[in-house]
């Protein structure tokens, strides 16, 4: 009888995970088909599945393969990575209001990008490389500040992250203050956007994020246990201190890889895990993959909106995600008592 009840609980989670996966595939097809030039989804599928194309479709094929597909794939990779990072960070902090950006990494990346723009270094070294270097640098600071006798206490991590984020935000503001006419470039980067993404960028991000996404899937079960409390988790066989370090580094790498290329796109990491949690509950074994698919689809649609609303111009995608994210965030805060069943560490 217990088995039946458990199977029912699990079935719902599996179904939603499959639904999210289908949604992601759909979003890719729709994302590729809609734009300044409309391409019917059936034709998109035909071109995508056959690879090459006939004479009549030549132009469509170029648009799809050279322009839209890399961009849509980038959106889904970034959405998936940020959503997973959100699940991991909310699980580790046992706090549903944590976002992947609380570790201060995105602020470090933003400073790196602004720095590169100001010094006009991007002619030599691309902005993403700079952003990534500073993301890693900010992770180091957060980590060293938070570490205590070889452990990584949750509260310390949160506070160190906030401190590092403030520090780099201040430095970024200073860069913007002295930027002069380069200000526009910095602002554009800071808002997050997928403009001009080509296969080269997608390849780099995929090489970085896909292995990280796969590794994350292995942590769902442990993360569940860790949410029962530190001592209980230890008694169940989880090396809490070690796992927490690994997860924090996973989050940092996922965020760094994405943010360095597309800028700090907001709210995906915070909101997507919540949307999914509302449907299937907090079981991280399913929450992580379902959020990945769902987050990927969300960002593909957000990117689509950002491309078509005032076409042929574009709105930076960060604005779109926040426009959707903020109302939901407020809604969440309002019904916190029902949704948040977490016991906030140290509160």
Partner 1 sequence: MILKVHNITFSYNSVNVLEDITFEAGEGEILGILGPNGAGKTTLLRCIFRALIPKQGVILLDGRDIKAVSRIELAKKISVVTQENVIAPFTVLETILMGRFPHTTTFKLFDYNATNLVENVIEKLDLREFLERGLNEVSGGERRRIHIARALIQQPKVLLLDEPTSHLDPNYKLQIMDVIKEFTIENSLVTIMTLHDLSLAARFCDKIILLKEGRIFAAGTPSEVLTPKNIGEVYKIDVRIVEGENGEILGILPLKTIRDDKNEMVALRNPLL
Q: Could you list the residues that contact partner 1 (CB under 8 A)?
A: 1-3, 5-7, 9-10, 94, 218, 221, 224-225, 227-232, 234-239, 281-283, 285, 340-343
CA dihedral 224, 225, 230, 232 (to 10 degrees): 150
Separation CA 301–CA 33 (nearest Å): 12
CB of 152 vs partner 1, minimal distance in Å: 16
CB of 334 vs partner 1, minimal distance in Å: 18
CB of 223 vs partner 1, minimal distance in Å: 11
CB of 341 vs partner 1, minimal distance in Å: 4
Question: Which residues, 6+ apart, have CB-to-CB distance to 104 below 8 Å?
Answer: 138, 139, 141, 142, 160, 161, 162, 163, 164, 165, 167, 168
Given the complex with partner 1, which of 195 and 235 has the nearer CB atom? 235
User: Per residue, what are the HEC states of 130-158?
Assistant: HHHHHHHHHHHHHHHHHCECCECCHHHHH
For residue 97, give Cα distances in angstroms to 93, 106, 229, 332: 9, 17, 18, 10
Residue 186, token pair as written in the block: 């910095």
Given the complex with partner 1, which of 150 and 196 has the nearer CB atom? 150
CB of 310 vs partner 1, minimal distance in Å: 41
Given the complex with partner 1, which of 326 and 333 has the nearer CB atom? 333
CB of 237 vs partner 1, minimal distance in Å: 3
Given the complex with partner 1, which of 6 and 58 has the nearer CB atom? 6
Rg (CA), the chain: 21
Given the complex with partner 1, which of 68 and 285 has the nearer CB atom? 285
Whether 300 and 235 have beta carbons less than 8 Å apart is answered as: no
Given the complex with partner 1, which of 184 and 343 has the nearer CB atom? 343
DSSP letter string over 264-310? ---SHHHHHHHHHHHHH-S-HHHHHHHHHHHHHHHHHHHHHHHHHTT
């Amino acid at each position: 009888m217990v088995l039946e009840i458990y199977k029912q609980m699990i079935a719902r989670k599996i179904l939603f995970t499959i639904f999210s996966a289908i949604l992601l595939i759909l979003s890719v097809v729709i994302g590729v088909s809609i734009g300044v030039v409309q391409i019917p989804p059936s034709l998109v599928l035909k071109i995508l599945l056959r690879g090459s194309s006939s004479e009549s479709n030549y132009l469509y094929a170029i648009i799809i393969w050279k322009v839209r597909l890399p961009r849509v794939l980038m959106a889904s990779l970034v959405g998936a990575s940020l959503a997973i990072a959100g699940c991991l960070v909310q699980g580790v902090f046992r706090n549903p209001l944590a976002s992947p950006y609380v570790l201060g990494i995105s602020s470090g990346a933003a400073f790196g990008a602004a720095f590169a723009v100001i010094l006009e270094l991007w002619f030599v070294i691309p902005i993403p490389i700079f952003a990534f270097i500073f993301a890693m640098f900010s992770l180091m600071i957060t980590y060293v500040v938070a570490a205590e006798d070889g452990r990584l206490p949750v509260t310390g991590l949160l506070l160190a992250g906030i401190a590092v984020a403030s520090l780099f935000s201040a430095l970024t503001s200073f860069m913007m203050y002295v930027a002069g006419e380069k200000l526009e470039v910095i602002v554009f980067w800071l808002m997050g956007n997928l403009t001009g993404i080509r296969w080269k960028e997608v390849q780099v991000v995929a090489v970085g994020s896909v292995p990280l996404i796969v590794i994350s899937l292995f942590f769902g079960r442990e993360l569940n246990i860790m949410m029962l409390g530190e001592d209980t988790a230890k008694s169940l066989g989880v090396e809490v201190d070690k796992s927490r370090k690994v997860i924090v580094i996973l989050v940092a790498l996922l965020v760094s890889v994405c943010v360095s290329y597309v800028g700090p796109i907001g709210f995906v990491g915070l909101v997507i895990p919540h949307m999914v949690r509302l449907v299937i509950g907090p079981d991280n074994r399913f929450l992580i993959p379902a959020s990945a698919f769902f987050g990927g689809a969300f960002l593909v649609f957000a990117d689509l909106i950002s491309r078509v609303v005032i076409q042929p111009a574009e709105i930076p995608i960060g604005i779109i995600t926040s426009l959707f994210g903020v109302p939901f965030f407020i809604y969440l805060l309002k019904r916190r008592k029902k949704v948040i069943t977490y016991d906030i560490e140290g509160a």
